[in-house]
Amino acid sequence: MHEFLPYAWFEGKCIPFKEAKISIATHALHYGTAAFGGMRAIPNPTNKEEFLLFRTEKHIKRLSQSAKLLLTDISEEYMFKALEEVIKRNKPEKPIYIRPFVYTSDLGIAPRLHNIETNFFIYCIELGDYLSPEGVSCRMSSWTRQEDRSLPLRGKISGAYITSSLAKTEASLSGFDEALLLNSNGKVSEASGMNLFIVRNGDLITPGVDQDILEGITRASVIELAKSFGINVIERPVDKTELLIADEVFLTGTAAKITPVKKIESTELNVKRPIMNKLKSKLIEITEGRSQDYDNWVTRISLQ
């Protein structure tokens, strides 16, 4: 069970989480006409009266763009103001995951995006490790990642996550921690809610944005950090068999952070991950506010 923080942003104001309720006739509930974000925030290790948010501007911009794909406008300034107020009101003491959500709030049955009311909320939960930092086992899903020509995959559209849900449960019920999905061309796309990286001969390789992936913010951060270390980064199609012979395989995401893959189906993978460990160590340093070079990646919110 999740530990929800006591206050949420709902219909334009900060209210107790238990009072934030929607009707069973809400349009988004029936048709998946919503877009969401996911953000991590932690107490500043050196100042407990300050909370640190990772790449806030990027997350807010992506959600605003996702909303536009649903023909909805919501300003980045408004979302940040709401986010700041929710954190200050809750005064969290542990690492949290933040879920901002734009949705069609009309009560009705017609599937549409025109002439419809929309709304916005934010809630937060306490969250430690989403996946085991020691590594996860994965299976290739029988489900195929959707195509951008059928769903706007550049956004985090809630209705698109039915495929992720099916893949995750299929993996779990068959004894694995996570699922890897192929796209319609048979190339590796991503995991149920994470991007994928492999290392081969010193190169860091990841499926490109043309492989029906979500343009992950942690993914983009890892690519930028790798380049700063002088690591050659290649964005290109990846085959299933490459995963089995790669020097390193790992997943990235806001919830997952950087998580190693230790096994794919019956194949045990290499346990030595020098490149992943270097990137992970730097990312932790940044998120904890200890890196002057990347201090602009961290938003500091005072709880006082």
**In this predicted model, what pLDDT tens digit does every residue of 48-94 receive, in sequence order?**
899 999 999 999 999 999 999 999 999 999 999 999 999 999 999 99
Q: What average pLDDT does range 197-207 have in this prediction? A: 98
Give residue 191's pLDDT band: very low, low, confident or very high (50, 70, 90).
Answer: very high
pLDDT for residue 288? 96
pLDDT for residue 172? 98
Give residue 235's pLDDT band: very low, low, confident or very high (50, 70, 90).
Answer: very high
Q: What is the DSSP letter of 133?
A: T
Per-residue pLDDT of 120-157, as tens digits, reads 999 999 998 889 999 999 999 999 999 999 999 999 99
- Give, in order, the Cα–Cα distances in Å from 32 to each of 21, 29, 104, 223: 17, 6, 9, 31
Q: Tell me the C-alpha distance between 196 and 153, whole Å.
A: 16
pLDDT for residue 58? 97
pLDDT at 188 over 90: yes
From 217, 292, 209, 211, select the one nearest 257 (Cα to Cα).
217
pLDDT for residue 304? 81
pLDDT for residue 4? 96
What dihedral do alpha carbons 182, 184, 187, 192 form, nearest 10°?
A: -20
Tokens of 220: 């983009």
Q: Which domains does the chain have, with CATH numbers?
A: 7-126 (3.30.470.10), 136-287 (3.20.10.10)
pLDDT at 1 over 80: no
Cα 166 from chain centroid (whole Å): 18
Q: Tell me the C-alpha distance between 247 and 198, whole Å.
A: 7
H helix count then E strand count, the chain: 7, 17
pLDDT at 300 over 80: yes
pTM of the model: 0.95
**Coil, strand or helix at 98:** strand
Per-residue pLDDT of 254-282, as tens digits, reads 988 999 999 999 999 999 999 999 999 99
Cα 161 from chain centroid (whole Å): 12
Q: Residue 94 in contact with residue 126, Cβ under 8 Å?
A: yes
Instruction: Tell me how crowded residue 295 is: count the other CB atoms within 10 A of its CB.
Output: 11
Tokens of 135: 């590594």
Tokens of 153: 């995959």
Percent of all residues in the chain with a pLDDT value above 70, rounded to a whole number: 100
Give residue 108's pLDDT band: very low, low, confident or very high (50, 70, 90).
Answer: confident
Q: Residue 39 in contact with residue 62, Cβ under 8 Å?
A: no
Positive or negative: CA dihedral 29, 257, 65, 7: positive
pLDDT for residue 2? 81
